[in-house]
Structure 1
Amino acid sequence: MTLANQLTLLRIILIPLFVVVFYLPFQWAHFASAMIFSVAAITDWADGYVARKYNQSTPFGAFLDPVADKLMVAIALLLLVGLHHHSAWFAAAAAVIVGREIVISALREWMAELGQRASVAVSYIGKIKTTLQMTAIIVLLIDHPYLLIPGYIALAGAAILTLWSMIIYLRAAWPFLSVNSVSK
Structure 2
Amino acid sequence: MPTDLPNLLTISRIAAIPVMVAFAAIGAPWADMAACIVFAAAGITDYFDGKIARDRGVTSSFGRMLDPIADKLLVGAALMMLVGLDRLSHAALYPSIVIMLREIAVSGLREYLAELRVGLPVTRLAKWKTGFQMGAVGTLLAGDTGARTIGLGFLPISLIGEAGLWVAAVLTLATGWDYLQAGLNHAGQADAAATAAASPGETAARP
Do these two structures clear the TM 0.5 threshold for a shared fold by scoring above it? Answer: yes
Instruction: Determine helix, strand or coil for the equivalent of 2:54.
Output: helix
What is the rounded CA distance, in whole Å, between the counterparts of 1:84 and 1:128 in structure 2? 27
What is the rounded CA distance, in whole Å, between the counterparts of 2:62 and 2:33 in structure 1? 32
Query: What letter corresponds to residue 124 of structure 2 in structure 1?
Result: Y
**Structure 1 residue 156 corresponds to structure 2 residue 158:** no
Q: Hey, what does 2:82 align to over in structure 1?
A: 80
What is the rounded CA distance, in whole Å, between the counterparts of 1:159 and 1:182 in structure 2? 36
Q: Hey, what does 1:129 align to over in structure 2?
A: 129
The residue correspondences of 1:35-184 to structure 2 (distance < 5 A) are 35-84=37-86, 87-117=89-119, 120-144=120-144, 146-178=156-188, 180-181=191-192, 183-184=194-195
Query: What letter corresponds to residue 125 of structure 2 in structure 1?
Result: I
What is the rounded CA distance, in whole Å, between the counterparts of 1:36 and 1:8 in structure 2? 14
Which has the higher mean CA deviation after the structures are superposed, 102-111 or 141-150?
141-150
Count, aligned residues: 182
The answer to whether the Cα contact below 8 Å between 1:81 and 1:90 also exists between their aligned partners in 2 is no
Aligned-residue offset at 1:149: 1.7
Structure 2 gaps of 5+ residues are 145-154, 196-207
Which has the higher mean CA deviation after the structures are superposed, 174-183 or 63-72?
174-183
Query: What letter corresponds to residue 12 of structure 1 in structure 2?
Result: I
Aligned-residue offset at 1:162: 0.4
Query: What letter corresponds to residue 177 of structure 2 in structure 1?
Result: I
Which has the higher mean CA deviation after the structures are superposed, 91-100 or 152-161?
91-100
Summarize deviations over 1:52-89 as a string: whole Å, max 9, x none.
Answer: 11112111111111111110000001111224466333
Aligned-residue offset at 1:182: 7.0
What is the rounded CA distance, in whole Å, between the counterparts of 2:19 and 2:191 in structure 1? 49
The answer to whether the Cα contact below 8 Å between 1:175 and 1:181 also exists between their aligned partners in 2 is no
The answer to whether the Cα contact below 8 Å between 2:82 and 2:88 also exists between their aligned partners in 1 is no
Cα root mean square deviation, aligned: 1.8
The answer to whether the Cα contact below 8 Å between 1:84 and 1:90 also exists between their aligned partners in 2 is no
Aligned-residue offset at 1:111: 1.2
Query: What letter corresponds to residue 181 of structure 1 in structure 2?
Result: A
Query: What letter corresponds to residue 76 of structure 1 in structure 2?
Result: A
Query: What letter corresponds to residue 65 of structure 2 in structure 1?
Result: F
The answer to whether the Cα contact below 8 Å between 1:176 and 1:182 also exists between their aligned partners in 2 is no
Q: 1:154 to 1:86 in 2, by over 3 A?
A: closer
Structure 1 moving runs of 4+ over 4 Å: none
Among the aligned pairs, what percent are the same residue? 38
Structure 1 gaps of 5+ residues are none
Q: 1:183 to 1:89 in 2, by over 3 A?
A: farther
Summarize deviations over 1:116-154 as a string: whole Å, max 9, x none.
Answer: 22xx31111110000000000111111116212211110
Which structure has the greater CA radius of gyration?
Answer: 2
Instruction: Determine helix, strand or coil for the equivalent of 1:28.
Output: helix
